[in-house]
Amino acid sequence: MKIKVLHNNSARFEFIRRAAAEKNPAAEISGSVFAGGAMPAVINGSAPDVLIVDEATRGCLDAIESLSLVSPGIDIVLISADTSAEFLMHAMRSGVREVVPSNASHDALQAALTRLSQKRIKQTGSAAPEGKVFAFLSCKGGSGATFLAANFAYVLATEYGKRVALIDLNLQFGDAAMFVSESHPPSNLAELSQQIHRLDASLLAASMLEVAPNFFVLAAPDNPDHLTDVQREHIDTIVRLARLHYDFVVLDLPRSLNGVSLQVLDVADMIFPVMQLTLPFVRDGKRLLTIFRSLDYPRSKIKVIVNRYEKGGEFTLDDLEKAIDGRIAYVVPNSYRAAAASVNLGIPIAKANRNDPISKFLIEMGREFVPEETLAANGGWFSRIFSR
């Protein structure tokens, strides 16, 4: 969504921008100084969805009426010292949607903007399409959650042309970026949290490491001193913004559940707990699944992954399903050498070795989440995979 603010001074612009950005983190907000004159010329072809005019007076209303005739799709909000019934009537007749008093607080301004976006959603029938949020977490340290999250994200982007953001929420020991790249991330979650008041889509994009076309990683904080800069609300805002701009938002979560992880697990479309087929993993996996049940997550939201699977172990897949009283969604083969080489070099496994069983598994898993039309448009995943 594009929001344009016409104002007379930068402090007012900042006040309005902040209120609007908090409600619409995905919005592109720009400001121009407005000293009267013909409104369409001021808008200058930039076609915003919402126009906010600060310090609006009766003198503006003619220009606003002309603008709303030329561009009826723009929602116009006036901030005005004049709140007389006569001014309000005139403003509404000129095509204005909301008039907010000049002395309105931050909250009152936000409330007006919320009413406006609710009206827009009603009119257009829906909000902007949102990307899917996938949360990976290990049931016990070393299950392979980070490895699978990072490599699955890579495959969704490179095999299926989806825009994917991987966000490393292991605040203390996050290393997801290093699993898929040797480059140093331009920024990280802590630095982004410090600038949360100016967060928008371009700041988010600039903070991420571009690993491949369409694949971006927001790295974990690189310095433990900055952990406290990352608050729950920041993560919530970042994930909400990311899902508006990426087809898939893949989250690598820390092992221990805390307030932050529970909050993102609530909003996730799917949760992938990663375990292995040995008793300590199974024990911890069972505990984790019990927690999910107590949180009333639907079973369809939880997709258990058994990683590093090898036939002939003491504990079978059936045993595991009985133990967890649930289904296993995915079984990832063990491929120690290829996985270790990929991790050590910081090269995604599907790039280093497309024919490795793990790569083949990830490519097939990704296919489930990509609509058939996209596959057909790409010439068919099957032919693409096997023609290389």
- Considering only 31-39, 106-114, 327-335, 362-370, which stretch makes contact with ligand ATP by CB under 6 A? 327-335
User: What is the contact surface with Mg ion in residues (CB under 5 A)?
Assistant: 146
Q: Is 359 one of the binding residues for ligand ATP (CB under 6 A)?
A: no
- Considering only 56-64, 85-93, 339-347, 370-378, which stretch makes contact with ligand ATP by CB under 6 A? 339-347
Q: Is 120 one of the binding residues for ligand ATP (CB under 6 A)?
A: no
Nearer residue to ligand ATP within complex by CB, 137 or 235: 137
Alpha-carbon distances, residue 27 vs 210, 245, 270, 285, 319 (angstroms)? 22, 11, 26, 40, 50
Contacts of 234 (CB under 8 A, 6+ apart): 189, 192, 193, 196
- CB neighbour burial string for 168-195, b if at least 16 within 10 angstroms, e if fewer: bbbbeebebbbbbbeeebebbbbbbbee
Q: Fill in the per-residue mask, 205 to 244: x = in contact with ligand ATP (CB under 6 A), - = not in contact.
A: ----------------------------------------
Tell me which amino acid residue 192 is.
Answer: L
Residue 242 binding partner per list ligand ATP, Mg ion, none, with a CB distance cut-off of 5 to 8 Å that depends on partner kind: none
Residue 78 to residue 296: CA distance in whole angstroms: 44
Q: Is 255 one of the binding residues for ligand ATP (CB under 6 A)?
A: yes
Residue 78 binding partner per list Mg ion, ligand ATP, none, with a CB distance cut-off of 5 to 8 Å that depends on partner kind: none
Are 212 and 181 in contact by the 8 Å Cβ rule? The answer is: no
Cross-strand bridge partners of residue 165: 216, 249
The DSSP output letter for 60 is G
Interface with ligand ATP (CB under 6 A), residue from 142, 313, 326, 346: 142
Residue 239 CB neighbours (<10 A): 21
Return the residues of window 262-281 that contact ligand ATP according to CB under 6 A.
Answer: 274
The CA dihedral of 187, 201, 173, 226, to the nearest 10 degrees, is 60
Interface with ligand ATP (CB under 6 A), residue from 71, 334, 374, 378: 334
Residue 327 CB neighbours (<10 A): 11
Residue 142 binding partner per list ligand ATP, Mg ion, none, with a CB distance cut-off of 5 to 8 Å that depends on partner kind: ligand ATP
Interface with ligand ATP (CB under 6 A), residue from 27, 64, 78, 145: 145
Nearer residue to Mg ion within complex by CB, 204 or 220: 220
Shortest distance, CB of residue 141 to ligand ATP, whole angstroms? 4
Tell me which amino acid residue 51 is.
Answer: L
- Where along the sequence are the contacts to ligand ATP (CB under 6 A)? 138, 141-147, 255, 274, 307-308, 332, 334-336, 339-340, 343, 358
